[in-house]
A and B are shown apart, each in its own frame.
Chain A
């Protein structure tokens, strides 16, 4: 009897240990499996491009015929590579096989988060600037602020989109069948489809993405090269492309990326951090009768974030249209409307609910995060996986979304440095916050602008999700009020303005030939 009791206690002890050893420091992450795309968008080679004139502008050499000795040798090589693939390589084949466009966007989000750290102050109270010539030396280049991240996502998406339109153009011109359609001995590790395989859409995406991310995050060149090689090779391990499919895709991806990088070099981002110009902006505001101007709440005062980012080139509207849509001036400190808005924040600061804190935290997307544009990119990726879009249609969603978001950010920055409205805590130090005070003027809210533009574009692309997306944008806008870093009118006008700017991306989507 005593023995049984002992065994029972022992079992109980082990059970307890087992229960806790199972909370083993691993977390459940979303898993995305390869899928067979149903709609191949065979006419996408005619879709409207962003930077290229059209999908035919950049040529691709004609492939060897299926019956040629060269191609037959490639098939034999492919079978050897598949047979030699390790388990890890087979896993990678399935990883990259689940929408390479979105895999590269996930990498871009991670880079944005890794590089989203503001430089610390020097002993003399000044701040060091990241140096693009020495990207790995502290403070690393870039400091991936929300404007920087939104531009990076947009450039990446546009490069992928223009490259894929070109690839689609040539695919359906040459109509080379996939290896598994030419040789029934090849059983691919990922679902089959009827898409012509030359040039490889995966190699195009890998090469274009690698080049853009090397340009945007120069300290990561080696890692990007490694990932692109892995992506391309995954197509061999999967049995989905022969080497000449990949080589043609690589060359095409590089050629398109070069054009997008040239665009990026002249988009005025290089002049977006014109600190000398900030004084001119303040003088202009004073000349317009504005008396209370924003100042940095960082200690020591940090130079304002990208004061001239509002001049950066927009994608879906011109600068005259951007200025024509600039919102009216916000209520000025001291006016009844301003005091009413400030009173609301005083009340929240005094008695913030747990739910308000949760919302402020959920949408903060601050330092060390993928920023609000990253948050919306992730949402778009979830919707695309749900719909099982092919790479081409995926790239269209990401390009429309990210150009729309960047446009909204540019327009918002223009407004911020035009009106230079102080943050609530500057107006009343009793307004304590539960999130960091961003280092730029309050009006209008960047989160609200980014989010409204994103919801506008995604609602057009996924109409059945419109209500959910609008609710998300509203919550993102409210989160800044709950955090007490924005007046209600910052968020409300930000939402209206962002939605308006986002609608220009929708207009483009309605006439890009994809209907």
Chain B
């Protein structure tokens, strides 16, 4: 609880990571139904982790990251849904660094529900989603934490299992893998795993993520508790007091993760455009190697670790 309190002091997070109507949940729009959702999320921090070292960085001061996202979900058939999402992200800090603001990556997913078994108690559903994303603007990929993304194209596959009782109590488990393309920087040299590369191309780690949720949903309200896990399958470690870089891996330990997300919102009706998400999120303390880590709020194609821009 003390941990939770401390974290709450560092992050006031409103996250869209796992809200209803996303490629990671089990909601399906019936045939012909379009649901459009606007979402705002924001976070702010003045301390962060560099490996095992929690620190402040007076040269950044307090950093803020905000995002407005539009997300549409359409039922092609009862079994096939298509989803599209596009976030606009802006960053700032009370330092002399200029923040960035731009459209980030546009994503599209196909969601397929091959199986739905109903009984007197409820419904069991099996679903799969496949998605693609590409950068939607020529945003700067290499000025973290101020840059809003890393200019990587992605493809993802995920499987979802869900059981919902007829009273609206549900449990969902999903696991996904995201392939991420190499990115190109404005500069054409960089340090990666201690080696000096004289090229502008940077490998970006693929990601594995999993979510478990329990919650309640009816036609008016949804409340949910969720646990998230995600990890990079390769990548670099941060160095003490070094600059940020788009290749850094994020690892978290599912077992040790203390993270709940509580969402309260109304369910989506046909053609509605509305907001929003109310939530609180906290972050993992350690990664699998025992390093302290901090995720980067605001989207899975963003970096999760930050290094300090302190210059000579």
Decide: A361 near B142, CB < 8 A? Known: A109-B196, A436-B311, A439-B312: yes
Decide: A143 near B312, CB < 8 A? Known: A138-B240, A368-B239, A370-B189: yes
A109 / chain B contacts, CB cutoff of 8 Å: 196
Interface residue? B300 (CB, 8 A): no
Residues 153-192 (chain B) with a chain A CB within 8 angstroms: 155, 179-182, 185-191
Stretch among B198-206, B252-260, B266-274 lining the A interface: B198-206
Would you call A368 and B242 a contact (CB within 8 A)?
A: yes
Residue of A nearest to B155 (CB): A20
Interface residue? A68 (CB, 8 A): no
Q: How large is the interface on B (under 10, 10 to 19, 20 to 34, 35 or more residues)?
A: 35 or more
B201 / chain A contacts, CB cutoff of 8 Å: 27-28
B245 / chain A contacts, CB cutoff of 8 Å: 368
Residue of B nearest to A358 (CB): B186
Interface residue? A34 (CB, 8 A): no
Interface residue? B309 (CB, 8 A): yes
Residue of A nearest to B244 (CB): A368
A298 / chain B contacts, CB cutoff of 8 Å: 59, 310-311
Interface residue? A114 (CB, 8 A): yes
> What is the CB-to-nearest-CB distance from A378 to chain B, in angstroms, rounded to a whole number?
6
Would you call A116 and B312 a contact (CB within 8 A)?
A: yes
Residue of B nearest to A439 (CB): B312
Partner among B179, B194, B234, B311 whose Cβ is within 8 Å of the Cβ of A366: B311
Partner among B55, B143, B181, B243 whose Cβ is within 8 Å of the Cβ of A367: B243
Would you call A369 and B203 a contact (CB within 8 A)?
A: no
> What is the CB-to-nearest-CB distance from B183 to chain A, in angstroms, rounded to a whole number?
10
Interface residue? B140 (CB, 8 A): yes
Chain A window 24-68, contacts with chain B (Cβ cutoff 8 Å), 1 for yes, 0 for no:
011111100000000000000000000000000000000000000
B58 / chain A contacts, CB cutoff of 8 Å: 121, 299-300
B3 / chain A contacts, CB cutoff of 8 Å: none
Q: Which of A16, A436, A439 has the most CB of B within 10 A?
A: A436
Partner among A106, A349, A365, A369 whose Cβ is within 8 Å of the Cβ of B98: A349
Residue of B nearest to A429 (CB): B96
Would you call B202 and A27 a contact (CB within 8 A)?
A: yes
Decide: A297 near B312, CB < 8 A? Known: A120-B241, A361-B186: no
> What is the CB-to-nearest-CB distance from B285 to chain A, in angstroms, rounded to a whole number?
22
> What is the CB-to-nearest-CB distance from A95 to chain B, in angstroms, rounded to a whole number?
15
Would you call A434 and B243 a contact (CB within 8 A)?
A: no
> What is the CB-to-nearest-CB distance from A479 to chain B, in angstroms, rounded to a whole number?
10
Residue of A nearest to B53 (CB): A120
> What is the CB-to-nearest-CB distance from B169 to chain A, in angstroms, rounded to a whole number?
35
The distance in angstroms between the C-alpha atoms of A29 and B187, with both chains bound, is: 14
Interface residue? B119 (CB, 8 A): no
The distance in angstroms between the C-alpha atoms of A29 and B195, with both chains bound, is: 12
The distance in angstroms between the C-alpha atoms of A172 and B155, with both chains bound, is: 62
Would you call A438 and B196 a contact (CB within 8 A)?
A: no
A110 / chain B contacts, CB cutoff of 8 Å: 195-196
Decide: A16 near B155, CB < 8 A? Known: A299-B58, A366-B243: yes
Would you call B189 and A297 a contact (CB within 8 A)?
A: no
Would you call A354 and B138 a contact (CB within 8 A)?
A: yes
> What is the CB-to-nearest-CB distance from A170 to chain B, in angstroms, rounded to a whole number?
34
Partner among B185, B195, B198, B203 whose Cβ is within 8 Å of the Cβ of A378: B198
B203 / chain A contacts, CB cutoff of 8 Å: 25-27
Interface residue? A69 (CB, 8 A): no
Q: Which of A29, A120, A365 has the most CB of B within 10 A?
A: A120
Given contacts A30-B198, A433-B96, 11 further A-B contacts (CB under 8 A): A23-B180, A29-B197, A110-B195, A120-B308, A146-B312, A369-B190, A429-B96, A432-B96, A435-B311, A436-B309, A436-B310
Which 10 residue pairs spanning A and B have beta carbons closest together?
A436-B311, A110-B196, A299-B58, A361-B186, A25-B203, A20-B179, A120-B241, A432-B98, A27-B201, A358-B186
**What is the interface of chain B, defined by CB distance below 8 A to chain A?**
55, 58-59, 96-98, 138, 140, 142-143, 155, 179-182, 185-191, 194-199, 201-206, 234, 239-243, 245, 308-312
**What is the interface of chain A, defined by CB distance below 8 A to chain B?**
16, 20-21, 23, 25-30, 106, 109-110, 113-114, 116-121, 138, 143, 145-146, 297-300, 305, 349, 352, 354, 357-358, 361-362, 364-370, 375, 378, 425, 429, 431-439
